[in-house]
Structure 1
Amino acid sequence: MGTEEQGLGGDLRLGGRSVARVGFGMGSLGRTEDSAASRDRGVSVLRQAFDDGVRIFDTAHFYGAGHANSLLAEAFAGNRDEVVVATKAGARATPEGPAPMTAAQHPDELRASVEDNLATLASDYVDIVYLRRMDFRPGLVVEEDQMVNLEDQLAELIALREEGKVRGIGLSHVRKEQVEAALPAGIVAVQNIYNLLDRRDEGLLELCRDHDAAWIPYFPLGGGGSFFGLPRVVDDPVVIEIAHAMGVTPQQVGMAWLLEHSPNTAVISGTSNPDHLRENLSAGRISLDAEAMRRLDTRHVAGD
């Protein structure tokens, strides 16, 4: 076992481009305070990620009610076309509520969400918009007045794509049958909960691979706090043992397993700390040998 100079996990096709398979998630930066010093640190981390080869930046307008997007806008004002910005529609921020977001599933709300993203990103297009459904737990489940047909939602996103405001359509928090129904719309990526210890969507991953759609899981290391309560990959004893033997961190092992497990997978991990950024990106250069993969492949808890 060891590390290889293979870039950030190799490349995959996303948004019509070939990009490194290790990306940057904006959730952490979206939660930082919006002060001058904090903004400078956030923009610096984003530019460092770009300089180190990251091209996928995963965001949402409801991350800090536009704060995460505004950091991206500042960081890449001069080279917007060099990055793939993936955002989400289907929810809106509720900064004063018990949860940071609430459902906004109707077609007009999806359009409004895209427009909000364009405004805070200071861009006339987004590379990918994930339709974030809320049909099942864990996470928020919509009330009856927010139950909307998938077909109506896709029709609105297709219209936005035809207008040039959206370049690619993705799906998030969806079931396999929903992805199958949506494939004719040209789905480029899917985001569901998936990690070493939670593989309930293995069949969906395989469907995406068979149809050249990127698989970009959220909570790639489990966790998610009390709201989601997922097993934490970094606490798994086999992960810890392998990490110790390799001289790397459990987080790096968990991310490296995802990249090794399927070639259509990209790993998104965010931080506001430059040192943590380097640690995350180094996961894309870790090579797990056959014995390590065999041991890790037996570790799934959910989806047995």
Structure 2
Amino acid sequence: MNSTGDTTGTWLLGDLPVRRVGLGAMRLPGRVAFDNSSVSDRDRSIRVLRRAVDLGVNHIDTAAFYFSARRSANELIGAALAPYPDDLVIATKVGPRRDRAGDWATWARPDELRGDVEENLRQLGRDRLDVVNMRVNEVSSPHIAEYVGELARLRDAGLIRHIGVSGVDAAALAAARKEAPIVCVQNPFGLGRTRPGDAELLRTCTAEGITFVPFFAIAGGAGHEGAEGNPATAALAEIAAAHGASPAQIRLAWTLHQGPNVLAIPGTGDPDHVDQNVAAGTIRLTPREVRALGTVTG
């Protein structure tokens, strides 16, 4: 099954049109995400990026904290794609921090976000970031208004075009929207890994025209390898066979069928998987197949 991003449909991130299947950059620096000792083959990672763009992908999700001992996702993106195509949208995120050894350090304070934004700008070689997602955790989520307020000031200063939020529930999204327009929500979400409140959040995003951008949509944090290693339900195996697709592709297709405002940003360090992920965007599941795979409950 081969395809290009042109056939997967488009949606808007703010005022920026993107194809619904994008590329997550987390796996580009290392074979194992967030393992500093796991270093990717540089040429292979660059092939992944160039192959994605050749297939029509124009939405890449990255972060300054995506790095291994000798690789940085942002710098790989610049090396592979600069000068950037006019329609390429690069979304990044701030909040989490890793030290030089790769260990998770303290969460950024609101007054530290400017430095994190400027570091993303430097690494990517850009004057303005298309989308910056504020990633929150259980500690920072109650203070999301302070964080988004700071990003709004950076937007007013011309460093950011659009603001998104990540790791939020409906209440945190509401608090963030009081500080600035929010163009997207980026949360963990996928077949077999929905959480209480996901249905409500997805309904809110759809009603308000907010783009929903799931990560780990294939299988947790394990990518294609994890998808093949997880026990597939009978329905998943049957539907995959009917479409001549892999279970991972059906998982992506199911995610995209949750609404026209739902995007996918599968991450991979394998050029062949880029083709498979883009092709998944062309799979049309029937309503019966979607129900057989499972529904999102509130």
Shorter-chain TM-score: what band?
0.7 to 0.9
Q: 2:200 maps to which residue? A: 203
Q: Distance in 1 between matches of 2:57 and 2:130?
A: 15
TM-score, length of structure 1 as denominator length: 0.85
The question of 1:284 aligning with 2:281 is answered: yes
Classify 1:260/1:249 alpha carbon distance in 2 versus 1 (closer, same or farther; 3 Å). Answer: same
Structure-2 residue corresponding to 1:187: 182
- C-alpha separation in 2, matches of 1:190 and 1:42: 27
Change (3 A) 1:150 1:223: closer
Q: Distance in 1 between matches of 2:289 and 2:164?
A: 32
- Contact kept, 8 Å, 1:234 with 1:240, in 2: the verdict is no
Deviations 1:273-301 (A, max 9, x none): 11111111100111112221221135x6x
Distance 1:109 1:80 in 2: 30
- For 2:79 and 2:191, the matched residues in 1 are separated by 35
Query: Which residue of 152, 170, 173 maps to 1:176?
Result: 170
AA of the residue aligned to 1:11: T
Shift of 1:30: 2.4
Separation of aligned partners in 2, 1:5 and 1:24: 13
2:58 alignment partner in structure 1: 55
- How many residues are paired up? 285
> How has the CA–CA distance of structure 1 residues 181 and 58 changed in structure 2, closer, same or farther, with 3 Å as cutoff?
same
Q: Contact (CA 8 Å) 2:210, 2:261: kept in 1 or not? A: yes
The 5-angstrom pairing of residues 103-142 of structure 1 reads 103-135=106-138, 142=139
Is 1:159 paired with 2:158?
no
Contact 1:220–1:255 (CA<8 Å) still a contact in 2? yes
**Which stretch of structure 1 is more off in the superposition, 264-273 or 236-245?**
236-245
The answer on 1:89 being equivalent to 2:83 is no
Residue 3 of structure 1, CA deviation: 9.6
Take 1:6 and 1:48, find their aligned partners in 2: how far apart are those partners? 11
Match of 1:235, SS state, is coil
Q: For residue 10 of structure 1, what is the aligned residue in structure 2?
A: 9
Q: Answer whether contact 1:4 1:287 (CA < 8 A) is retained.
A: no
Taking a change above 3 Å as real, the CA distance of residues 128 and 253 of structure 1, as seen in their structure-2 partners, is same
Q: Deviations over 1:171-221 (max 9, x none)?
A: 000111110122241000001111121332111111111111110011112
CA contact (8 A) 2:28 2:40 kept: no
Secondary structure at the aligned position of 2:192 is classed as: coil
Q: Secondary structure at the match of 1:40?
A: helix
1:34-75 superposed Cα distances (whole Å, 9 cap, x missing partner): 9x9932222222111111110110001000067000011112
Q: Give, in whole Å, the separation in 2 of the partners of 1:126 and 1:155.
A: 17
Q: Distance in 2 between matches of 1:79 and 1:68?
A: 15
Structure 1 CA distance, aligned partners of 2:202 and 2:271? 31
Decide which of 262, 267, 292 is 1:265's aligned counterpart.
262
User: 2: distance between equivalents of 1:85 and 1:174?
Assistant: 21
Q: Deviating runs (4+, > 6 A) in structure 1?
A: 2-6
**C-alpha RMSD of matched pairs (Å):** 2.9
Aligned partners of 1:223, 1:124: CA distance in 2, in Å?
Answer: 33
Cα 1:68–1:81 change in 2 (3 A) is same
Deviation sequence 1:82-111 (CA, Å, 0-9, x none): 2111111101123535xx433423112211
Q: Distance in 2 between matches of 1:209 and 1:148?
A: 24
**Partner amino acid, structure 1, of 2:143:** N
Identical amino acids, percent of aligned pairs = 38
Q: Partners in 2 of 1:195 and 1:162 — Cα distance?
A: 34
Q: Which of 75, 78, 95 in structure 1 is aligned with 2:80?
A: 75
Gaps of 5+ in 1: 136-141
CA distance in 1, matches of 2:168, 2:16: 24
Distance change >3 Å, CA 251–CA 162, structure 1 → 2? same
Query: What CA distance in whole angstroms lies between the structure 2 residues aligned with 1:242 and 1:134?
Result: 36
Take 1:179 and 1:106, find their aligned partners in 2: how far apart are those partners? 19
Query: Structure 1 CA distance, aligned partners of 2:42 and 2:4?
Result: 32
